[in-house]
Chain A
Amino acid sequence: GENVEQHPSTLSVQEGDSAVIKCTYSDSASNYFPWYKQELGKRPQLIIDIRSNVGEKKDQRIAVTLNKTAKHFSLHITETQPEDSAVYFCAASPPTRNSGYALNFGKGTSLLVTP
C-alpha cells in the first residue's frame, strides 16, 4: 500500500522566515496530495491541495510543489507568523481502492514560529 514519509518531524523558524516541509510517497499511481493543519486539540483543516496533473499551486503565503518523477511534494510557507504554529500533515491518495478512498497521512511536522 501507499507509504508517506514526512520530514522534518519538528521545525522551528523565526517570524518572517520561510518554512519548508517535505513528503515522499511510494505509490506512483497516487494522484491527489492535500496538506492539513492541526492546531493543538483541534480538527485537521485542509489548507491546500494539489493534483498529479499540476506541478505547483500557490495560495497567498502557502505554496505546494509536486515532483511526480521523484514522488515527492513539499509545502512552502513564506513570511511565517506565530499563528502558523501547528502540526502540518501531508497526505497522498492512491486511486480507488476497493472502490473506496482513503488518504494516507505522513506522521506530521510540528512547526513553531517564534516572534
Chain B
Amino acid sequence: DAKTTQPNSMESNEEEPVHLPCNHSTISGTDYIHWYRQLPSQGPEYVIHGLTSNVNNRMASLAIAEDRKSSTLILHRATLRDAAVYYCILSAYSGGGADGLTFGKGTHLIIQP
C-alpha cells in the first residue's frame, strides 16, 4: 500500500471543527482513501472512505484534493468522545478481493473541554 503522512498530534477545543490532514503523494489510481480511528484500549473503528469526490456521513466529512495527493478528515463539531488516534490509510481496490490494512502512526487528536 502507498504511504501516507500525518501529523503526530493535533489539539482542538470541544464543539469546534477539526481538520485532520493526510498527505499521500504516491497514491495510485485504484487506491481508496480510508480513515479509521482508535479510541484507547479499543479496536479501530471505520470512519469514512472515498476515491475522488468529497464524502459525507454521520461521523465526518472527507475532502479529497483534486490531484488526490492529499485529503482532510473533517469533524464538524468535536466532542470529548472524538479524542482518539486517527489513521489515514490507502487501500487498493482489487475487484472484490480484500487486503489487510497498513497502519501508519496516525494523528493523536486531543480535545480540550
Q: Report if A and B associate in a common complex.
A: no
Residues of B within 8 A of A (CB): none
